[in-house]
Amino acid sequence: LLLLFLLGSCLHSAAAFPKGCYPSEEEGLKTFRCSNAQLTEVPRDIPNDTNKLYLDFNQIPFLPRYAFRDLPLLLELDLSHNAIARVESGAFQGLAEHLHSLDLSSNRLVSVSKDTFSNLKAKVNLSNNPWLCDCRLQELIHAVELAADSSGGIVCDSSTQEEHVGKAFLQVIADTDFCNMYKKTTDIAMLVTMFGWF
């Protein structure tokens, strides 16, 4: 009976893993791979001692708040090649201490608040996304540490100024301050409004 129980619990724990996902050990680190598993959301049953998590090449459309909060030992998180268009504030909450690599390349990110990455010390890859180049992206770029060699892949898919489309964002902000520009236009609008009153 005990043997049956043990066998049952072993089978149950194996079956608890999301379809297409499996644990392994790489360089002494507990790894959980869900690459190419046709996932449409971040799986819930990820072992909480996972150090490296691969969720690449899936169809995940957005990251909810606290998506990874039960993974305090996570060092690397690969979310590349998904359909992520929205990241809720607090999606990476609980990962601040240990996470050192976050890959969000090749998704559908257009605009993300800098607060989404607050307190994260990880190097972040944001390349190959359809970015809107504006003050928000400028603030985001200043708030995160970009992964080596990834900055050239952050290209303006759309922009508050037409001539920037198709250009690498870091090249653009070398001589354009989007946040200041925005401030100037609001200042002018304010002056015009005030002038109208007089």
End-to-end, the C-alpha distance of the chain in Å comes to 90
Parts of the chain with a pLDDT under 70 = 1-15, 182-198
Distance CA 178, CA 159 (A): 10
CA distances from 147 to 45, 48, 60 (A): 28, 25, 22
pLDDT (0 to 100) of residue 145: 95
- C-alpha 28, offset from chain centre: 26
> 101-127, pLDDT tens digit by residue?
999 999 999 999 999 998 899 999 999
pLDDT (0 to 100) of residue 2: 44
pLDDT (0 to 100) of residue 17: 84
Architecture of the structural domain at 22-196: Alpha-Beta Horseshoe (3.80)
Angle, helix 178-197 to helix 135-143, in steps of 10 degrees: 140
Phi-psi region of 95 (alpha: psi -120 to 50; beta: other; left: phi over 0): alpha
3-state helix, strand, coil in the chain (%, to 5): 30, 20, 55
Specify the length of the chain in residues.
198
Q: What token pair was written down for 35?
A: 């690459």
pLDDT (0 to 100) of residue 7: 40
Kindly report the pTM of this predicted structure: 0.84
Boundaries of every domain in the chain: 22-196
Q: What token pair was written down for 183?
A: 């401030």
pLDDT (0 to 100) of residue 47: 94
> Which residue bears the tokens 């090749």?
106
